[in-house]
A and B are shown apart, each in its own frame.
Chain A
Amino acid sequence: DAGVIQSPRHEVTEMGQEVTLRCKPISGHNSLFWYRQTMMRGLELLIYFNNNVPIDDSGMPEDRFSAKMPNASFSTLKIQPSEPRDSAVYFCASSFPAGGETQYFGPGTRLLVL
């Protein structure tokens, strides 16, 4: 299995631009998680989906952030407009209940907003 796939791996953009991060979970996994990692705050859960339905988005910083999961094999995290404080590494992870809720992480997208 290819594991969780994220794209792009690196993104540099200017403040005010729209940023879209993409994730393909492991086939057969029915839960998908978006995390953000910074030096100051560590790893924080932004939102998670179960069977393509958003379950908890309380970690989403503000309305500039939105996430979708149109089908079981694809999810996006969008930031519009982006700000310098959004600079971080964004991880996507997936899991399935029969696996004991173990989450498998993608390699992350390193975002820099200038």
Chain B
Amino acid sequence: SQELEQSPQSLIVQEGKNLTINCTSSKTLYGLYWYKQKYGEGLIFLMMLQKGGEEKSHEKITAKLDEKKQQSSLHITASQPSHAGIYLCGALGGGSQGNLIFGKGTKLSVKP
């Protein structure tokens, strides 16, 4: 079965610094989703990547899917306290109806 490994597990950065979170799959990715979760809340959809080499940006967050479609990275530029939370990557699990498998998440703390 497909597994997603995220690194690092947790990250503490100073406000204003850049950071990168990685998501590696044991199998080829046919759809890679990035979500953000704040404590006690649901998951907020950030971006979806499907094509090898694809890159998408939203405000100061950029996500990339490598050419081989087995690894994705999420990069935050000039981090702010509002970026703090848990970032999860999810991938289509192979079911025809779009069920997702998730990584364990990366906990990001931003120090003001």
The chain A residues found within 8 Å of chain B, CB to CB, are 4, 31, 33, 42-43, 45, 48, 50, 55-56, 91, 93, 95, 97, 100-108, 110
User: Chain A binding site: helix, strand, loop or mixed by DSSP?
Assistant: strand
Per-residue A-contact encoding for B81-106, CB less than 8 Å = 1, 0 else: 00000001010110101111111110
- Chain B, interface size category, equals 20 to 34
Pick out which of these stretches binds chain A: B11-19, B42-50, B58-66: B42-50
Number of A-B contacts (CB under 8 A): 59
- The reply to whether A42 and B99 contact each other, CB–CB distance below 8 Å, is no
Contact pick for B99, options A45, A91, A106, CB 8 Å: A45
- The reply to whether B97 and A50 contact each other, CB–CB distance below 8 Å, is yes
- The reply to whether B48 and A102 contact each other, CB–CB distance below 8 Å, is yes
- The reply to whether B33 and A55 contact each other, CB–CB distance below 8 Å, is no
Assembled-state Cα–Cα distance A56/B5 (Å): 23
Assembled-state Cα–Cα distance A62/B98 (Å): 23
Contact pick for A110, options B40, B93, B103, CB 8 Å: B40
Question: Inside 8 A of A48's CB, which chain B residues have their CB?
Answer: 95, 97, 99
Decide yes or no: A45 and B100 within 8 Å by CB, A56-B95, A100-B48, A102-B48 being known contacts: yes
Contact pick for B102, options A42, A101, A102, CB 8 Å: A42
Question: Inside 8 A of B97's CB, which chain A residues have their CB?
Answer: 31, 48, 50, 55-56
